[in-house]
């Protein structure tokens, strides 16, 4: 006799979450109409946000970061900030809505941490170049002495090259947008001038 596998339970019940979101959004609307303060998020919604954020952080593309706790916190914070933007008329899937918010919060945290790592590396590199790195020695050694720091690692060299290339690309895109905006403004100004001359 073959045993049937038990259907695994989802860690978040999407139907219940949807109903809780509808009830919460209704209470928010009622509070706004009565000029009352915004109501607290229900316990169940908070638990779901925590579960979604924690579970997403265990995916292979996020699991090995040392700042996973900060990623989870950012995801929950963003969900709370954009909780009111969920529209039950457009979607009946709040799980997907919150998962997307958390996913992009994770990506933003990773970018911020990479920028901090770049800044730390450049500061350390600058300190070594200017011979400001000093370690404390003991009295038997004769006091402080210069430290040797190996900054020439393949990982950091690749990281710095990649980071600087991306920053240069972003800067070029901003300059290109500014140039495009200037061209559009010039064309619009010429059209306004031509229209005003025709009106005369």
State whether 96 and 159 are in the same domain: no
State whether 29 and 108 are in the same domain: yes
Report the pLDDT value the prediction gives residue 93, as an integer from 0 to 100: 92
Instruction: Kindly state whether residue 128 falls inside one of the protein's structural domains.
Output: no
59-71 mean pLDDT: 92
92-to-15, 23, 89, 95 alpha-carbon distances in Å: 8, 13, 7, 9
Report the pLDDT value the prediction gives residue 8, as an integer from 0 to 100: 62
79-108 mean pLDDT: 93
Per-residue pLDDT band at 72 (split at 50, 70, 90): very high
State whether 108 and 60 are in the same domain: yes
Among 119, 144, 163, the domain boundary falls at 119
The residue range of the domain holding 189 is 152-200
Q: How far apart are CA 35 and CA 103, in angstroms?
A: 34
81-97 mean pLDDT: 92
Instruction: Kindly state whether residue 74 falls inside one of the protein's structural domains.
Output: yes
Q: CB within 8 A of 25, min separation 6: which ones?
A: 84, 86, 88
> Does 22 have pLDDT greater than 90?
yes
> Does 133 have pLDDT greater than 60?
no
Q: How far apart are CA 157 and CA 97, in angstroms?
A: 38
Report the pLDDT value the prediction gives residue 95, as an integer from 0 to 100: 93
Structure tokens at 42: 């229900």
> Does 140 have pLDDT greater than 60?
no
> Does 23 have pLDDT greater than 70?
yes
Instruction: Kindly state whether residue 5 falls inside one of the protein's structural domains.
Output: no
Instruction: Kindly state whether residue 132 falls inside one of the protein's structural domains.
Output: no
State whether 35 and 102 are in the same domain: yes
Give residue-wise pLDDT tens across range 155-181. 788 888 888 888 888 888 777 777 667
Among 96, 119, 142, the domain boundary falls at 119
Report the pLDDT value the prediction gives residue 126, as an integer from 0 to 100: 77
Per-residue pLDDT band at 67 (split at 50, 70, 90): very high
Domain count, the chain: 2
54 or 146: whose pLDDT is higher? 54
State whether 157 and 115 are in the same domain: no
Instruction: Kindly state whether residue 129 falls inside one of the protein's structural domains.
Output: no
Query: Among 134-138, 175-179, 192-196, whose mean pLDDT is lowest?
Result: 134-138
State whether 105 and 176 are in the same domain: no
Among the residues of 34-153, which ranges form H helices? 43-56, 68-81, 94-129
Report the pLDDT value the prediction gives residue 184, as an integer from 0 to 100: 74
Q: What is the mean pLDDT of the chain?
A: 82
131 or 81: whose pLDDT is higher? 81
104 or 129: whose pLDDT is higher? 104
Among 119, 137, 170, the domain boundary falls at 119
Q: Give the dihedral sign, CA 84/88/90/94.
A: positive
């Amino acid at each position: 006799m073959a045993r049937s596998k038990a259907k695994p339970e989802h860690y978040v019940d999407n139907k219940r979450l949807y109903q809780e979101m509808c009830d919460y959004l209704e209470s928010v609307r009622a509070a706004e109409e009565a000029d009352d303060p915004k109501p607290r998020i229900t316990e169940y919604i908070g638990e779901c946000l925590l579960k979604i954020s924690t579970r997403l952080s265990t995916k292979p593309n996020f699991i090995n970061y040392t700042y996973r706790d900060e990623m989870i916190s950012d995801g929950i914070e963003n969900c709370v900030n954009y909780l009111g933007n969920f529209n039950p008329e457009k979607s009946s899937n709040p799980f997907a809505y919150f998962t997307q918010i958390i996913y992009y919060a994770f990506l933003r945290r990773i970018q911020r941490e990479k920028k901090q790592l770049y800044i730390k590396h450049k500061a350390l590199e600058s300190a070594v170049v200017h011979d400001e790195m000093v370690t404390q020695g003991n009295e038997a050694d004769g006091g402080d002495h210069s430290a040797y720091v190996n900054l020439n690692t393949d990982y950091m060299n690749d990281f710095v090259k990649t980071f600087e290339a991306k920053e240069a690309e972003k800067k070029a895109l901003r300059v290109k947008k500014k140039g495009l905006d200037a061209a559009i403004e010039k064309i619009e100004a010429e059209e306004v001038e031509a229209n005003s001359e025709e009106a005369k």
